[in-house]
Amino acid sequence: MHETHSAIGEKIATLYRDDSRRVLATLIRLLGDFELAEEALHDAFAAAMTQWPQEGVPTNPRAWLVSTGRFKAIDSLRRHTRYDASVAELANQLEAESATPPGWDESSVADDHLRLIFTCCHPALPPDARVALTLREVCGLTTEEIAHAFLTRASTLAQRIVRAKTKIRDARIPYQLPSAEELPERLDAVLRVIYLVFNEGYSASSGASVTRSELSGEAIRLGRLLYELLPEPEAAGLLALMLLHESRRAARTTVDGEIILLDEQDRSQWNRKLIDEGTSLVEHALRSRRFGPYTLQAAIAAVHAEAPSAAATDWEQIVGLYDVLLRVDPSPVIALNRAVAVAMRDGPQAGLELIEAILARGELHDYHPTHAARGELYRRLGRYTEASDAFQHALKLARQAPQRRFIEQRLAKL
């Protein structure tokens, strides 16, 4: 019994949603060009909409789409470049290779998907271009969606993506997986892009809301995909870190969108399923002994997640983990977070001295959480004039509306 046209249409729509980025990744490898591969992808799906209702759905739909897309690209090259010998030669070369098509089994498709991630996150590309290109090509977000999420004009985003593709082509950045020697550095670039996307969604750098769930959702999807394709300990650590942070999303703001600090959150609203999954991934990464900063940050998040109340938090363990993290990844932001943890363990004066030392080194002067943390510790010490000055400084630097309102509330209480 033949499937109805609408049933086949639904299958094609599902295939596009679930598999189009994998098909695109393979087409990019076969055709060697982003634009040509994207056009071929859309031509292949258009052909499926026409042919499959008449001929039935092929046994291996993904292989059919790859093969059809490839031939459509060759036809397009022949049609549009009749008078260009170099492009005609490229069409001949692609056609010759098509005579013996490579196998499109699950492992080769997975490799292609992984290749695409590493290419989009190549260190030769500027960081903002890596983020835009990854969301566009790997996640399939439209330019408008990415621009909206990052509060950027769509035209600016489009230029960024075009420049990144041009750089890949002109610099002949190879569309391949890094060698074993290159992997740690290259994997770090990929993890950084995913975490940047997550952070912009989990704690938006500016704008009217604290979070943009669609972006952190994409980052988690990317993190799952990367860990599935490349089960390295730090890929597990990053996925765990994102899941543990995400588990607290519902408790982080009031219904009006105002910020609720960690120690004031209703822990019954935390998502236990995400906490269990994140904790399991952390334990797995720690057992490997090959973990890095993402796993250590996830371990800190897991200690918070396991505490039944703010008062029951194991600050001794958290400070210990920050000590290790500072050795592995020395950065002023981590030093600030450690100072806040020390204040919780040893009292506000101990934490304040550490924050003043960070500022004395000329670090984090323009980072509003530094001054907000100082203000909070001064407040706890009863030094209200200094607390007010610190909060005023934080207010000048805060760019997100809920953060500004939160600081204003702290000032009003003083």
Statement to judge: residues 74 and 115 lie in one domain: no
Last residue of a domain, one of 279, 313, 347: 313
Asked whether residue 314 carries a pLDDT value surpassing 90, the answer given is yes
First to last CA, the chain: 76
Statement to judge: residues 15 and 84 lie in one domain: yes
Q: Sorting pLDDT into bands at 50, 70 and 90, what band is 344?
A: very high
Asked whether residue 328 carries a pLDDT value surpassing 50, the answer given is yes
Asked whether residue 135 carries a pLDDT value surpassing 80, the answer given is yes
- Angle of helix 61-80 relative to helix 85-98, nearest 10 degrees, comes to 160
Query: What integer is the mean pLDDT of 281-301?
Result: 96
Statement to judge: residues 23 and 132 lie in one domain: no
Confirm whether 173 is domain-assigned: yes
Q: Identify the pLDDT of residue 201.
A: 79
Statement to judge: residues 96 and 122 lie in one domain: no
Lowest mean pLDDT among 1-5, 142-146, 163-167, 356-360: 1-5
Q: Identify the pLDDT of residue 100.
A: 44
Q: Identify the pLDDT of residue 323.
A: 98
Q: Sorting pLDDT into bands at 50, 70 and 90, what band is 1?
A: very low
Q: Which of 202, 232, 229, 233 is nearest to 215 (CA)?
A: 202
Q: How far apart are CA 214 and CA 123, in angstroms?
A: 26
Statement to judge: residues 184 and 110 lie in one domain: yes
Statement to judge: residues 352 and 409 lie in one domain: yes
Query: What integer is the mean pLDDT of 346-375?
Result: 97
Q: Sorting pLDDT into bands at 50, 70 and 90, what band is 105?
A: low
Q: Sorting pLDDT into bands at 50, 70 and 90, what band is 107?
A: low
Statement to judge: residues 223 and 309 lie in one domain: no
CA 222: distance to chain centroid?
A: 6
Share of the chain above pLDDT 70, in %: 90
Query: What integer is the mean pLDDT of 283-300?
Result: 96
Last residue of a domain, one of 313, 348, 368: 313
Q: Identify the pLDDT of residue 338.
A: 98
- What 3-state class would DSSP assign to 2? coil
Q: Identify the pLDDT of residue 121.
A: 93
Q: Sorting pLDDT into bands at 50, 70 and 90, what band is 307?
A: very high
Q: Identify the pLDDT of residue 108.
A: 61
Asked whether residue 25 carries a pLDDT value surpassing 80, the answer given is yes
Query: What integer is the mean pLDDT of 301-324?
Result: 97
Residue type, 309: S
Q: Which of 357, 288, 291, 360 is nearest to 328 (CA)?
A: 291
Query: What integer is the mean pLDDT of 90-110?
Result: 53
Q: Which of 234, 224, 266, 235 is nearest to 249 (CA)?
A: 266
Higher pLDDT, 29 or 334: 334
Q: Identify the pLDDT of residue 83.
A: 53
Statement to judge: residues 40 and 118 lie in one domain: no
Residue type, 326: L
Higher pLDDT, 88 or 246: 246
Last residue of a domain, one of 73, 103, 133: 103
Confirm whether 204 is domain-assigned: no
Confirm whether 11 is domain-assigned: yes
Statement to judge: residues 148 and 184 lie in one domain: yes
Statement to judge: residues 129 and 225 lie in one domain: yes
Asked whether residue 87 carries a pLDDT value surpassing 90, the answer given is no
Confirm whether 300 is domain-assigned: yes
Q: What is the CATH number of the domain that holds 331?
A: 1.25.40.10
203: DSSP letter: S
**Residue with tokens 């998040």, as numbered in its chain:** 301
Total domains present in the chain:
4
Q: Sorting pLDDT into bands at 50, 70 and 90, what band is 52?
A: very high
Asked whether residue 89 carries a pLDDT value surpassing 60, the answer given is no
Confirm whether 189 is domain-assigned: yes
Confirm whether 179 is domain-assigned: yes
Statement to judge: residues 247 and 296 lie in one domain: yes
Q: Identify the pLDDT of residue 4.
A: 81
Confirm whether 392 is domain-assigned: yes
188 is in which domain, residue-wise?
A: 105-199+210-230
Q: Which of 77-81, 134-138, 351-355 has the highest mean pLDDT?
A: 351-355
Residue count (the chain): 414
Confirm whether 285 is domain-assigned: yes
Statement to judge: residues 110 and 218 lie in one domain: yes
